Structure 1
Amino acid sequence: MPWIETVAYEDADAKLKLLYDRVKGPDNNVDNIMMMHSLRPHSMEGHMAIYKYVLHHRDNIIDKWFLETLGVWVSALNECNYCVEHHFAGLKRLLRDDGKSAQIWAAIDTNNIEAAPLENRQKTAMEYARQLTRDPGGMREDIVKKLRTAGYSDGEILEINQVCAYFSYANRTVLGLGCSTNGDILGLSPNKNDDPDDWNHT
């Protein structure tokens, strides 16, 4: 049970149900992280907008599976098992390579990114994510310059930054309110990238 009251789909009033209908998956399933917002639906709307636009927008350049990898990494650093479980399932579905997914997870789980089957520039992005998550006040321009030297454009660096920032926000929503995966369907996401306003989970 979460640490605050939440409103189930079947008990939602008209305004909340409209939002639930936008974010739900199969069988009217609403992820628990979204239900955490049910007493303040406007914050759910804000959460879903930034989630969709940061991670599942048509104008992103970086592969979605790697953005999910960054999310799993940030969530592991923040010890947020909810987001790790959800987004690792999403990573596996997108990558379609169980062996590589398992190797990525092993590297994250052992805090050894060098062992991950990733390109060098992706490992640089993972190190940026570690620094931003663990010591944001210690960020310096030279860390961004390393991303640029590794081959990322400034727009791609912004994508990396926003994914890392979003997951720290989501982790704190989950951890601060006692959200669990009970009843959730793992690995669903708003996959219709061409429509930024379509938030349904499939």
Structure 2
Amino acid sequence: MSFLKMINEENATGKLKEIYDKLLGGEGERLANLLKSQSLNPEILESHLKLYKSIMQGKSGLSRQEREMIAVVVAAVNNCHYCLVHHGAALQQLVDEDDKLLFKDLAKAYQKPNQPEQEKQKQLASLTLREKAILDYARKLTVSPANIIKSDIDKLNDIGLNDKDIHDITQVVSYCNYENRIAQGLGVELEER
């Protein structure tokens, strides 16, 4: 499950039990291993949950679908299988029936940086100009954050994104990289379900 000890739902006590009880919706519900991997420090887990809700579900000029698309791209670039599966599943719930393979196309297009441009464009054909610009920025910020320059921001402004939108994109990318590092750094494995 993880390189480190994780406290399961049935063994939680005190503050951790309070957090788990808030998260569990009903009988038989299980928590994601990524959350349980942080069970040794309930305060950090609680802060992580607040950050997740604010960045991924809070009020924003970005749709939930756009945020999950960013999460899929970041996980693909980082080769984080755990987060790719989780955010891929979330994205699938948000898209139309015609777009059910979108997360696989995103993963393929952004996981292989040296693939022919024609192949990448085919995989991304269903994306809007806005989505492509957001995801290209997400990839660059993940791969080479020191190389972000003003013209990268200008490109986003040019397609109609305002400063708050760009700030929110940067927050989502940064949060997803944080999440990937937890999953990979602690050896978090996918749940059996």
Scaled by the length of structure 2, the TM-score of the pair is 0.89
Does residue 123 of structure 2 align to residue 124 of structure 1? no
Q: Are the structure 2 counterparts of residues 92 and 14 from structure 1 closer, same or farther at C-alpha, using a change threshold of 3 Å?
A: same
Q: Are the structure 2 counterparts of residues 168 and 72 from structure 1 closer, same or farther at C-alpha, using a change threshold of 3 Å?
A: same
Relative contact order: is structure 1 or structure 2 higher (C-alpha 8 Å, sep ≥ 6)? 1
8 Å Cα contact 2:75/2:83 also seen in 1: yes
Give, in whole Å, the separation in 2 of the partners of 1:75 and 1:182: 17
Q: Are the structure 2 counterparts of residues 102 and 132 from structure 1 closer, same or farther at C-alpha, using a change threshold of 3 Å?
A: same
Deviation at 1:127, TM superposition (A): 0.7
Deviation at 1:25, TM superposition (A): 4.6
Give the aligned partner of residue 101 of structure 1. Answer: 100
Give, in whole Å, the separation in 1 of the partners of 2:103 and 2:37: 30
Does residue 54 of structure 2 align to residue 45 of structure 1? no
Give the aligned partner of residue 189 of structure 1. Answer: none
Q: Tell me the percent identity.
A: 30
Q: Superposed, which structure 2 residues align to 1:1-202 within 5 Å?
A: 1-26=1-26, 27-57=28-58, 59-95=59-95, 97-111=96-110, 112=120, 115-116=123-124, 117-183=126-192
Give, in whole Å, the separation in 2 of the partners of 1:118 and 1:171: 24
The aligned amino acid for 2:85 is E
Give, in whole Å, the separation in 2 of the partners of 1:42 and 1:12: 14
Structure 1 window deviating more from structure 2 (62-71 vs 18-27): it is 18-27
Give, in whole Å, the separation in 1 of the partners of 2:177 and 2:159: 24
User: Where do 5+ consecutive residues of structure 2 fail to align?
Assistant: 111-119
Deviation at 1:158, TM superposition (A): 1.1
Scaled by the length of structure 1, the TM-score of the pair is 0.85
SS in 1 for 2:155: helix
Q: Are the structure 2 counterparts of residues 41 and 143 from structure 1 closer, same or farther at C-alpha, using a change threshold of 3 Å?
A: same
Give the aligned partner of residue 113 of structure 2. Answer: none
| Runs of 4+ residues deviating >4 angstroms | none
Aligned length: 182
Give, in whole Å, the separation in 2 of the partners of 1:170 and 1:4: 16
Query: Root-mean-square deviation (CA), in Å?
Result: 1.5
